């Protein structure tokens, strides 16, 4: 059970690292630690909402989290 939790958190951290270093130029790095912690803990829900059901690509999704100030859930919510 610990390995599942470890793997889950490791995937979230790796997604952040890919966002910072593997998704292109990053002039406005997300420095909000609490935003990154929430992303690591909820990445599957965010992936489903923004990529599978939403308009974002996987690369754009991690880039938005790491380099554009984080994912804005209010902006993507239906009005």
Q: Are the C-beta atoms of 30 and 36 separated by less than 8 Å?
A: yes
Say if residues 30 and 67 touch (Cβ distance below 8 Å).
Answer: yes
**Confidence at residue 7, expressed as pLDDT on a 0 to 100 scale:** 95
Model pLDDT, residue 74: 52
Q: State which residues of the chain have pLDDT below 70.
A: 72-79
pLDDT of residue 75: 52
Q: What's the pLDDT score for residue 73?
A: 54
């Amino acid at each position: 059970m610990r390995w599942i939790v470890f793997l889950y958190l490791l995937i979230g951290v790796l997604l952040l690292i890919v966002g910072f270093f593997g998704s292109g130029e990053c002039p406005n790095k997300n420095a909000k630690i609490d935003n990154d912690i929430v992303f690591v803990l909820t990445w599957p829900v965010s992936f489903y909402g923004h990529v599978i059901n939403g308009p974002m690509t996987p690369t754009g999704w991690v880039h938005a989290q790491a380099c554009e100030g984080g994912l804005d859930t209010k902006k993507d919510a239906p009005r």
